[in-house]
Amino acid sequence: MTTENLASRMARLQAAINLEEGDRVPVALMMGATMPCRYKGISQGELYREPAKAQQAVFEVFDELGGYDAAGAGANASREENLLDAPMRIKVPGRDLPDDDPVQWEEIEVLTHEDYDKIIEQGWKDFMFEFYPRFRGWDPAEYHTRIETKATRDIKRQKEVMKVWEEKGIPVYQVSYVNTPLMMLSTCRSFVKFTMDIHRIPDKVEATMDAMIDDLIEISIKSVKDMGISPPTGIPAKSLVMERGGAFYYPLRIFERFEWPYTKKLVEAFIDEGIMPILHFDQDWTLNLPYLKELPRGKCLCQFDSCTDIFKAKEILRDHMCIMGDVSPSLLSLGTPEEVEAYCKKLIDIIGEGGGFILGVGCSVPTNAKFENLKAMVDTAKNYRPPRSA
């Protein structure tokens, strides 16, 4: 048995992304701090008040699981001010919610109908620089200082986290997110209102997205470069948060006009800069899968959350795009280790066949995932070899 180290894990991860079969299927958990804190008896409120303690819980759970193959560097620092994230109202445990409730995002209309015109006129960045102080009730004069202070603090904290992963010999591949314009507007207008906007004023919605996209690309690339992740310790990557634009919500004609062109622009710009786009799909995107073949081969990673048919995804994306997923939140929180193991074996057998697969959870590790279920997942990836390679 070879000794595991940064290089061996990186090679395994890179092989999957390159659509090759490595020594085995890599396993990577999108582990925020919510489950580790719950498991370690740290309240969800403390997670927000004491991010360093929460991050320590992540490392401890990682060690107790016996380690996995790749990690995100993000601590659970608040991303409230991040211009790439939707400015939704956040309900923080211990402040707005009982101390051990999970954090929640309240979907209310924070962007008004009139804001479309402002975004078209100003672009996303300048609009947000004006909007955020209004939204948060801050003095606009203090805004830039505040956001700069926060960015400096978050980058410093995340670099410290990356250092620990490096010492543990774990490559880092995922740090931060960008919402596609559709996802951003849908969550900020609220789903029903945004859907009616598309129905009633499609041209204005499209013009707004056109006015947003360059800023989203520019800020995204800068944020990845600021973090400085690169081989051999990690893969520079950016996640695209994709939920609302898929066929669970909208017909393909809406997707083709309001989601796909902007997704392609983000993906192509990232690839040009050597950044791996991670298409993070929530909800059912099965009908949209064929479009993914238009993206460059072997350059992206797509994550499924158990709602998309991952087996159909394999049929379509085989030899084209690395797939990650999709042990479901309900299985991780309610199932047994035996059930988890059986499902992981099925994924390794079918999705892992021929390479291009990373075993992962559906979306991120849920707060009340059972430790033994996560352990079953990690152990199955490490120990199980499908019959073809026996």
The binding site for another protein (CB under 8 A) comprises: 91, 98, 101-102, 104, 106-107, 190-192, 195-196, 198-200, 247-251, 254, 283, 306-307, 328-335, 362, 366-369
- For residue 11, the one-letter residue type is A
Interatomic CA distance for residues 42 and 337, integer angstroms? 24
For another protein, give the closer residue by CB, 138 or 248.
Answer: 248
Question: Shortest CA distance to 270 belongs to which of 338, 196, 213, 315?
Answer: 213
Q: Kindly report the CA angle at 343 between 290 and 361, in degrees rounded to 5? A: 65
- Decide whether 7 or 196 has the Cβ nearer to another protein: 196
Tokens coding 166: 């490096």
- CB 291 to another protein: min, Å: 16
Residue that is written with structure tokens 């204005």 in the block = 204
The nearer residue to another protein, 200 or 297, going by C-beta atoms, is 200
Residue 106 Cβ vs another protein, minimum distance, rounded to whole Å: 6
For another protein, which is the closer residue by CB, 101 or 130? 101
Closest distance between another protein and the C-beta of residue 249, in Å? 5
For the CB of residue 247, give the shortest distance to another protein in the complex, in Å: 6
CA distances from 146 to 43, 86, 133 (A): 27, 18, 10
Supply the minimum distance, in Å, between the C-beta of residue 100 and another protein.
Answer: 9
* Minimum CB distance to another protein, residue 173 (Å): 25
Min separation Cβ 96 and another protein, Å: 10
- Our CB check for another protein shows the closer of 184 and 269 to be 184
Give the distance from CA 221 to its chain's centroid: 16
Q: Are 44 and 18 in contact (CB under 8 A)?
A: no
Q: How far is the CB of 369 from another protein (least distance, A)?
A: 8
Q: 286: which DSSP letter?
A: G
Length of the chain: 390
Helix (H, G, I), strand (E, B) or coil at 178: strand
Cα distance between residue 108 and residue 287, in whole Å: 28
Angle between helices 191-200 and 181-189 (to 10 degrees): 110
Q: In terms of CB distance, is 171 or 245 closer to another protein?
A: 245
User: Which CB atom, from 174 or from 286, has the smaller least distance to another protein?
Assistant: 286
**How near is the Cβ of 205 to another protein at its closest, in Å?**
13
Q: What are phi and psi of 104, to 5 degrees?
A: -140, 150
**Nearer Cβ to another protein (8/368):** 368
Q: CB 259: neighbour CB atoms within 10 A?
A: 25
Strands (E), 213-285: 237-242, 276-281
Q: What is the dihedral angle through the alpha carbons of 256, 274, 222, 83, rounded to the nearest 10 degrees? A: 30
Smaller CB distance to another protein: residue 174 or 373? 373
